[in-house]
Amino acid sequence: MGTIVDATNMEGIKSALGEKNPKIVFVLGGPGTQCANIVEHFGYTHLSAGGDLLRAEKQTCSEYGAMIETMMFEGVIVPSEVTIRLLANAIMENENDKFLIDGFPRNEENRAAFESVVSFTGIVPEFVLFFDCSEEEMERRLLTRNQGRVDDNIDTIRKRFKVFVESSLNVINYYNSKGKVKKFG
């Protein structure tokens, strides 16, 4: 994966996304949701906006790498512009036209920023999968997945869950008002 598209190329991102016209499903829930079965059975490409894309960018030593690392460790949300550019790059670099975007939008600002980028293209999420799990269950899953991630510790997990409750539930309510939420417990 390449580094983030230069800020002067936002129009290029909008144009490329419009031409590709991808089908997008957002996956929201507290930290630790799993998407492998959906990808395997329905042919989507999984893009982990809150995790894998950010970790990959962090490794490129780009201008955003240190900021991403700090924000992930603190359990706070990376700026929308950074995440949207990473998502756009991943979508444009992939031959598939169906994307399961995991962990995005995490707050109202993310949602509004994404919609402003794709507003003229007609791209809207097909639907939003909402995995509604307890904090205890998410802690258990994250602490036992044993992937050696610096952000898989009890303090960061609890911060992430608090951020989820304070920020992401508003996004879920927004999409629910549009009839686009499919909830799983």
* DSSP symbols for 41-92: HH-PEEEETTTHHHHHHHHTT-TTHHHHHHHHHHT-PPPHHHHHHHHHHHHH
Residue 75 identity (one-letter amino acid): G
Residue 49 to residue 78: CA distance in whole angstroms: 10
**CB environment 48-61: b (16+ within 10 A), e (fewer):** bbbbbbbbbbbeee
6-42 per-position pLDDT tens digit: 434 667 777 777 788 899 999 987 655 567 778 888 9
**Structural domain contains residue 180:** yes
Kindly tell me if the per-residue pLDDT of 96 is higher than 80. Answer: yes
Tell me, what's the pLDDT at 111? 93
Query: Got the DSSP string for 101-132?
Result: EET---SHHHHHHHHHHHGGGT--EEEEEEE-
**Structural domain contains residue 2:** no
- Which one is predicted more confidently, 99 or 4? 99
**Structural domain contains residue 1:** no
pTM of the model: 0.76
Residue 63 to residue 57: CA distance in whole angstroms: 10
Residue span of the structural domain in which 178 resides: 7-184
Confidence at 128, pLDDT banded by 50, 70, 90? very high
102-122 per-position pLDDT tens digit: 889 988 999 998 888 887 777
Burial of 185 from C-beta contacts in 10 A (0-12 / 13-18 / 19+): exposed
Tell me, what's the pLDDT at 175? 95
Per the structure, how many domains does the chain have? 1
Domain CATH for 138: 3.40.50.300
62-92 per-position pLDDT tens digit: 778 888 888 887 877 788 888 888 888 899 8
Question: Which of 142-146, 158-162, 164-168 shows the lowest per-residue confidence on average (mean pLDDT)?
Answer: 142-146
Residue 171 to residue 103: CA distance in whole angstroms: 11
